[in-house]
Structure 1
Amino acid sequence: MTSDPTSLALGSHPWPHDDDTPVTGELTYRNSGTDAVTFPVSVEARGPHGEPAPAGLFTVTPTTVTVPAGGAATVTVTADTRVGGVDGAISGAVVAGDLLRTPVGVDREPESYDVTATFVDANGEAPSRHSGLVIGMDNDVFAFFDGEDDTARLRLPKGEYFAFGDVTTGDPEDGRTALLPRPVLVVAGPTALAFDARAAEPVRVTTPDPGAKPVLAEVRVTRAHEGSRVSIGSLFIDGFTDGLTLAGSDPDLPDDQLELVVATQGTGTPVGATPVHHRLAWVERGRVPTGFVRAPARRDLAEVRSHLGPAPAGHGYDLGAAPFGADGSGPMGVLFPVPTGGEAIDYVLGDGFRWRWLLSEHGPDGDSVADYSATDRTYRAGRTHEQRFRFPVFGPGLPPSSYDYLSRHGDVITAQVPLVNDGGDNLGWSVTESARATLHRDGQPVAEVPSASARFTVPPGAARYRLDLDLVRAPEVFDLTTRVTGSWTFRSDTVPGERSRKLPLSVVRFTPRLDADGGTPAGHLLRIPLTVEQQQGADNGRVHKVEVDVSFDDGKTWATVPVVGGAALVRNADRTGYASLRAKGTDSKGNTFEHAVIRAYKIG
């Protein structure tokens, strides 16, 4: 049995619907068999959110059909959009018994109105270039005002919208662009709005460094409404243009419903061989001002000095930072080249923001080989702050983080334990030569994967688990921390609900004082401070004792060393080479840990 056509589209019907005319479509069934077939015919359909179509919206006649052998029979399907109850795209199937389903659909427009937008340049004339869009705050509309004329129209459902336009005056190369946000656009009838550049005033940001060169700037407006959150912004390569302007919003809104972010990043005048950058960000809440002009003095900025560890010959670094608001969003950051083994100075302004830093390391071919990211940091104007990247010892660490290092959701255990954080406990990643993650449940293997991070599906119920990790870094890229191994035991039960549960996890960070190359003299007694870190939010016990071993033959043999006053005391070998370190312990709830760092530091 086949149908012709293979689907029925019964049109789109504009609001209002009290004068709609029912639309019909014919569907012919053809029987290629040798026997006549009789079957019932009906329509099953649902609205755009899965709700059943109201009775009477679709009808079919006749409701029972007999198709003769080798013959055909026709039914008529009717869509009557005067029948209310469901708006939008209503779709489903014409059901021929249990033989055949033929798709059918009709679009019943919800209460909607024409919205007319007019674009006006700074001279009161038609602009040389313009654009506009609207985003629904209480619906899923996303639409552009299309057309080259200075007037454009949209058909929009009744509701509340966030509209944004930009208008260019004169030659676009001159950069005379006006940003014209309309955070509140209520459509409850035929609506007209104007994107008028004459209402805008300049956007201008200068730094106290006359030699500063902007690289990237951004203006972003965010609107929140009844659980919806929408951001619209503009990026400016090489900074804000001289002719950029901004129009204010009306009316003012509560602080948690409207936010303007203005940000710029660029280079400054170097201090000798030390590069200088400016990273500035502002936030205005509850309104969008008309124009935005800022000229912070040096006393308004925080100075952030980044000390950068050495890297192999041919490697390079890029240092970036981006500001983030309380909701986790923020403007883009910029990565600037910085010297390996040197320093960088960043002047930061960003009250109301937390800053996230990233040091990216690339090899001679330009490919990334390692990243080190810093946890969110805040700064005070007029202060100098110090931070360190890519200094040893590299090894396991658990800095505060928005994601789980070891967790369970339902019966899935996820492991992503950081194994190569740097000495400043910046979250580390590096290319690897090999990696392996293995999980045991009550002594029996669950799975093994060729990665240092993994998701394991486990049987339901409570059990004791052991997680084993093994990561080997490429020796031609890294001469320190060439391998990291670790084992952790913990109990875990099925975690119901929508949220994952963090699992107990402890590590020990080794923080000895080493020279710039990660070395210390042969035969020297080295004090290695120990820092126990645990996954925040997990049911960890207290760690009262840590045992530490040292190896001078890359982990072939180990010797226990004394731990006094929270530090391990290691008598270095009398020859040049490397020292490897291993820590192990048990918390007060019976969870254990043991991890080793091969070639933790140099000797000689």
Structure 2
Amino acid sequence: MDVSFHNDRPARAMETRAAVWHGDYSFPPQPTPAQAERTDWVSAGADWYEEAAVNGQLQIYPDTYRRYPAGGTSHLEYFGPVQRPRLNGQWRPVRTGDTLLGIVPGWGDSGVGHVGTTFGDAGVSNKVTLYQGDTVVRASDTDTIGSPRFPLVLPPEELRYRLVSANSRAAWKHTYSTSTRTEWGFTSGRTAGGTSAYPALVQLDYTVTGLDTTGKDGRHADLTVTPSHLPGGPDSGTIRKVSVDVSYDDGATWHHAVLRPPTGAGRLG
């Protein structure tokens, strides 16, 4: 298995890979450079739990356990671009009755299904806002929108909402994704009989080819954008359209990119 660590600058990272046994795992994190390329050999046919962190800055968590096929080469990547808000099956909002709870992590990395949190990083700004129309339902100066201590109670009727995650590195020095803003639109109403439901929040994964260990690419590169539904939530079927705009001047101007669509993704050069 090829393992890549693409932090934008040298740092000390910690990594966990543990075999899952009867639904449990236990293995202490091991130190690794935050900029590195490595080849590992793992047992096929077993479930593995994997996560990594840049000390005091960024924690990357997976969507689920991973199982590697025998006789092939797989790839695992941490810390690379494009970093942005990303939810997965473990980290996402959930509605029970009239109450909405959830964390919206703002710093997912280049790994498919990876979410990224910034626990312990006092220099970063993470904000989440829920709108109903143009009305602010709740604005949070953290990545949490509703919690057991401060529950977010919504009207029982089915309404259209807009969830906005705005994040800035502020004092956290980094070359890329200095600030991000992601919006999801969804419809939600009271769930019946104490049951829970997950809002339909489509996710986007970004793969950039040819990155070096600093997360930097050459003059020409392919960017693949892959949309997906969160597991266990509503599924609209085929996601029919992906559009990408690209900025070369830190967001001052934007250019519409022409996509070359392979199966299940949008690809541009």
Give the alignment's TM-score, normalised by structure 1.
Answer: 0.39
CA gap 1:550/1:444 in 2 versus in 1, 3 angstroms: same
1:405 aligns with 2:87: no
Residue 421 (structure 1) aligns with: 108
1:528 corresponds to which of 214, 220, 223:
223
How far residue 497 of structure 1 moved from its aligned partner, in angstroms, is 2.8
Cα distance per residue 1:75-123 (max 9 Å; x no partner): xxxxxxxxxxxxxxxxxxxxxxxxxxxxxxxxxxxxxxxxxxxxxxxxx
Q: In structure 2, which of residues 182, 191, 200 is the aligned counterpart of residue 504 of structure 1? A: 200
Select which of 519, 540, 555 maps to 2:235.
540
Aligned equivalent of 1:470, options 143, 158, 166 = 166
Query: 2:51 corresponds to which letter in structure 1?
Result: L
Contact 2:85 2:165 in 1 (8 A): no
1:551 aligns with 2:253: no
Contact 2:138–2:145 (CA<8 Å) still a contact in 1?
no
| Corresponding position of 1:491 | 187
What is the CA–CA distance in structure 2 between the aligned matches of 1:433 and 1:346, rounded to whole Å? 33
Preserved CA contact (<8 Å) 1:507 1:532: yes
Q: CA deviation at 1:505?
A: 0.7
* Distance in 1 (alpha carbons) for counterparts of 2:131 and 2:101: 13
Query: Aligned with 1:487: secondary structure?
Result: strand
Specify the SS of the correspondent of 2:156: coil
| SS of equivalent to 1:564 | coil
Q: What is the alpha-carbon distance in structure 2 between the residues aligned to residue 309 and residue 521 of structure 1? A: 15
Report the CA distance shift for 1:462/1:514 in structure 2 as closer, same or farther (over 3 A).
same
Counterpart pick for 2:82 among 374, 389, 393: 393
How many residue pairs are counted as aligned between the two chains? 254
What is the CA-CA distance between 1:543 and the residue it aligns to?
2.0
Partners of 1:544 and 1:319 lie apart in 2 by 37
Q: Aligned partners of 2:127 and 2:85: how far apart in 1?
A: 15
Q: Residue in 2 aligned with 1:519?
A: 216
Residue 60 of structure 2 aligns with which residue? Answer: 372
Give 1 or 2 for the bigger CA radius of gyration: 1
- When residues 435 and 476 of structure 1 are mapped into structure 2, their CA distance, relative to the original with a 3 A threshold, is closer
CA distance in 2, matches of 1:502, 1:459: 16
2: CA distance between counterparts of 1:491 and 1:475?
36
Cα offset, 1:418, TM superposition: 3.9
Q: Within 1, Cα distance between the matches of 2:69 and 2:161?
A: 45
**Partner SS for 1:563:** coil
1:567 equivalent to 2:266? Answer: yes
Decide which structure has greater strand share. 1
**CA pair 422-338 structure 1, distance change in 2 beyond 3 A:** same
TM-score (norm 2): 0.81
* Paired letter, 2:215: G
State the one-letter code of the partner of 1:532: P
What letter matches 1:406 in structure 2? P
Shift of 1:334: 1.8
User: Cα offset for 1:493?
Assistant: 0.7
Give the alignment partner of residue 51 of structure 2, picking from 335, 346, 358. 358
Q: SS of the counterpart of 2:129? A: strand
Measure, in 1, the Cα distance between the counterparts of 2:259 and 2:2: 34
Name the structure 2 match of 1:447. 138
Q: Can you give the 5+ residue segments of structure 1 that lack an aligned partner in the other structure?
A: 1-303, 363-367, 571-604
> SS state of the match for residue 61, structure 2?
strand
CA distance in structure 1 between the partners assigned to 2:42 and 2:259 by the alignment: 41
* Residues 359, 448 of structure 1: alpha-carbon distance in 2 compared, 3 angstrom cutoff: same
Within 1, Cα distance between the matches of 2:44 and 2:174? 36
Q: Give the aligned residue type for 2:138.
A: A
Write the distance in 1 (CA, Å) between the matches of 2:203 and 2:193: 29
Q: Deviations over 1:555-574 (max 9, x none)?
A: 2332222223243546xxxx
Does the Cα contact within 8 Å between 1:396 and 1:508 map onto a contact in 2?
A: no
Q: 1:417 offset after TM fit, Å?
A: 3.4
Q: Find the aligned partners of 1:509 and 1:556 in 2 and give their Cα distance.
A: 24
Q: Distance in 1 between matches of 2:198 and 2:21?
A: 25
User: Any conservation in 2 of the 1:396–1:509 contact (CA below 8 Å)?
Assistant: no
Deviations 1:289-322 (A, max 9, x none): xxxxxxxxxxxxxxx5422224424x21122122
- Residue 507 of structure 1: CA displacement? 2.5
What RMSD in Å do the two structures reach over aligned CA positions?
2.7
- Relative distance call for 1:412 and 1:556 in structure 2 (3 A) is farther
Q: Quick one: distance in 2 between partners of 1:311 and 1:520?
A: 11
Shift, 1:481, TM fit? 1.3
- TM-aligned CA deviation for residue 386 of structure 1: 3.6
Q: Specify the code of the residue in structure 1 equivalent to 2:137.
A: V
Paired position in structure 2 for 1:333: 27
Q: Is 1:436 matched with 2:132?
A: no
1 CA distance for matches of 2:196 and 2:33? Answer: 41
d(CA) in 2 for partners of 1:398 and 1:433? 19
Residue 161 of structure 1: aligned partner: none
Matches of 2:124 and 2:85, distance apart in 1: 18
Alignment check: 8 A CA contact 2:203 2:228 kept: yes
Q: How far did 1:358 drift?
A: 1.6
In structure 1, the residue matched to 2:149 is none
Instruction: Map 1:132-151; keep pairs closer than 5 Å.
Output: none
8 Å Cα contact 2:4/2:36 also seen in 1: yes
Change in Cα spacing, 1:438 to 1:345, as seen in structure 2 (3 Å) is same
Distance 2:235 2:52 in 1: 31
Contact 1:437–1:454 under 8 Å retained in 2:
yes
Greater RCO (CA < 8 Å, at least 6 residues apart): 2
Q: Do the aligned partners of 1:411 and 1:460 also contact (CA within 8 Å) in 2?
A: yes
Q: 1:361 Cα deviation (Å)?
A: 1.0
Q: For each residue in 1:38-97, what CA deviation from the matched residue of structure 2 results, as whole angstroms up to 9, or x when unmatched?
A: xxxxxxxxxxxxxxxxxxxxxxxxxxxxxxxxxxxxxxxxxxxxxxxxxxxxxxxxxxxx
